[in-house]
Each structure stands twice: as structure tokens, then as C-alpha cells.
Amino acid sequence: MAKLFQPTQIGDIALKNHIVMAPLTRNRSPGAIPNDLNVEYYRQRATAGLIITEATAITHQGQGYANVPGLYSKEALDGWKRVTNAVHAEGGKIVVQMWHVGRISHTELQPNGGKPVSSTNRIAKAKTYLVNADGTGAFTDTSEPRALEASEIPGIIEDYRKAARAAIDAGFDGVEIHGANGYLLDQFMRDGVNDRTDEYGGSIENRARFTFQVVEAVTREIGARRTAIRISPVTPSGDSYDSNPQALFTHVVEGLGKYDLAYIHVVEGQTGGERDYRQGDNPSFDYKALRTAYEKAGGKAAWMVNNGYNRDMAIETVENGTADLIAFGKPFISNPDLVERLEKNLPLNTPDQSTFYGGSAKGYVDYPALEKVA
């Protein structure tokens, strides 16, 4: 049996295989509360070695899209307990991706219709998802943000800490800090978005400060071995850009090396797009060098990779030690039994892209598993 399908250990979490369900925003949690559909969706996919939930807001201010879940109300946490219980009952493991979207939001989604917050006052050339009065959904331009005052940042770090504790109390096996795809932490890290002149702007060290402070707070609260982080060094998602991503993310992973984290989740290339996408003043990005820098800094966390992996690539990558875990996104949408299909090298269901965002059971929990198509 290929190593991809064999058990492994990441931090304090034992996994039955090296296959991970990537975080996938599906916009099916009205009121930011996980519901019966969400419970069934995650239960169906519990054969993954690890499930990473859809991005989940740490606070109301952290929300950026309609009908995505949260970690900040009793009702939401009660809903998540039902999800974690269902996944565990099937023998699966699940972590929550903790999210603050920063400027990738809209005033309609913010407390009291306020401006989204960010490292900058500049509006992102990006879209968010809103629900109309008739229940239909549509993508719309993000709203103008306001730059956070330095004095506000400790409060947001505290929000991350509280959310991490709430997640563990709701039964999650761990948390993944979302530091990727042009959301709040990424907005602070990248020089193409961060135009600050205080201790959180300018140098790479300053721009990475917020991320390290969040990691420190979360690991102190729930333990490093149940904490992970996602980064996307070159993706342009959310109108994100950095002039020297290799230097920036080398500094980031070197700083993460001091923590005994469960895993580092690296999106290779453009999220959901070109694997060889490049950004910045240098012509390429060296992911192997990134991992080497992390390990030289003392990092021992599992290395998770993501973006466009197929069966053969996944098997080879784990066998040769380039990465420890492979995250699959879209294939898990249409194949609740993806692990079995990959192991047996069977055909995959084709996803219906029109049902990716919003809606009900159609295109969410009604894809056939093998026993139903045999």
C-alpha cells in the first residue's frame, strides 16, 4: 500500500491516512450557524485523514461572505459540536480553519454596517458574496476598509485566542490559522497591501509581527501540537501581492520553526489556479528551499501541500518525502468517498460548479458514493 494511504501522526493528532480535505467555502450556514446540512456534509467525508473546515470567522468583524459559519456565538458553537461529534463517530479527525477576512468584506456583513478593517485604507480589487432579499446569492465588490490602529491589534489577537479555545471546547482536534489568500494576516505580511509606517509596517520583520503574535497566543491557549497555519506565498487572491515572497515567507517559516506545530499548510502557486504561478521581482519561488529553511530553524511540523494534486502526484510526493500531507479541494466536493476512489484508482464524480456557493442539498450532500454507483 502506498504511504499516502497509511496512518500517520501530526502533532497530537493521529490520522488514518495522509489525505486531507482542504478548506472549502460553501456558503450554507445562514446566521453563521452550522446546521443539519453541514453536519451531513462533513460526516460523509470523514474517511479523509484530516478534514479542515471551511474558513470560519473568529468574530462578526471577521466575516467577509454571506452564510459562512462563525466561532463567536453559542448557537454556532453548538452547531459545530454536532459536526465534530458526527465526524468523530465515523472515525475521522477535524480541525477548524480560523478566519479573519480583513478588507475582503462588505459593510452589509460588518457589525453596525461599519467598514471592514485591514492593514490599509485601500480597497481591494476583489469580490465577496452577498445574499439578496429573495434568497439568491451574488458576488459583489468589496467595501472600502479602514486601517487598524496599532492599539486595536491586541484585541484581535485576543479574538484569535478566544476562538481557538472555543474550537477545542466544541470538539475540534485542532485549529488552522488562516494566514493565506489575501485575508487579514496576509494583508499585514505583504508589502503590496501593507502601507503602514508603524511597528506593523515597512520591514519584513514588522509585517510578519501580527502573524507571530497570533500564533503565540493560540499556541499558549491550546498547545502548539494542536495548532497549524496556512500560507500561500505567491497567490494573488484577494488582491494580494509581495515584491519578494521568497524572503518574506522564508522569514515567516523560520519564525514558525520555534513552535512544535501540527502542520504547515502551503498553497503552491495560485490558489485554485496555476501551480507554477509566480509573483514578485524574482522569476520563481522555491518551495523546497522554503521547507529546508523551516527545518533548519528547528521546525518539525508536518508539511502539507495543496493546489491541483492528482492521485499520481500525491502518491509520489508523499513517497519521496517532498511533503507529508496532500490536501485535496474540489475533488472532495463531488466525491465524499475520495479516499477510497484514490486508493482503488477509480473514476471521480465531476463537480457541479454552479452549486459551489450557496444553495441547499443539491451539489452539497447528494453526490453518489461508490456503493450507490456500483
By annotation, the residues acting in catalysis are: 183
For residues 57 and 33, give the distance between their C-alpha atoms in angstroms, rounded to a whole number. Answer: 11
**Kind plus residue range of the DSSP H or E element containing 318:** helix 311-319
Look at residues 192, 118, 116, 184 and name the one whose alpha carbon lies nearest to residue 149.
118
Residue 149 burial (10 A CB sphere; 0-12, 13-18, 19+) = exposed
Helix residue spans in 227-355 (DSSP H): 245-256, 287-296, 311-319, 330-334, 338-344
For residues 257 and 261, give the distance between their C-alpha atoms in angstroms, rounded to a whole number. Answer: 8
Helix, strand or coil for residue 51?
A: strand
For residues 308 and 274, give the distance between their C-alpha atoms in angstroms, rounded to a whole number. Answer: 8
Residue 221 burial (10 A CB sphere; 0-12, 13-18, 19+) = middle
Q: Which three cell numbers stand for residue 182?
A: 489575501
For residues 322 and 225, give the distance between their C-alpha atoms in angstroms, rounded to a whole number. Answer: 21
Q: Rounded to a whole number, what is the distance in angstroms from the first to the last CA of the chain?
A: 23
Q: Which residue has the cell 503574535?
A: 213
Q: Which residue has the cell 464524480?
A: 349
Q: Which residue has the cell 482503488?
A: 344
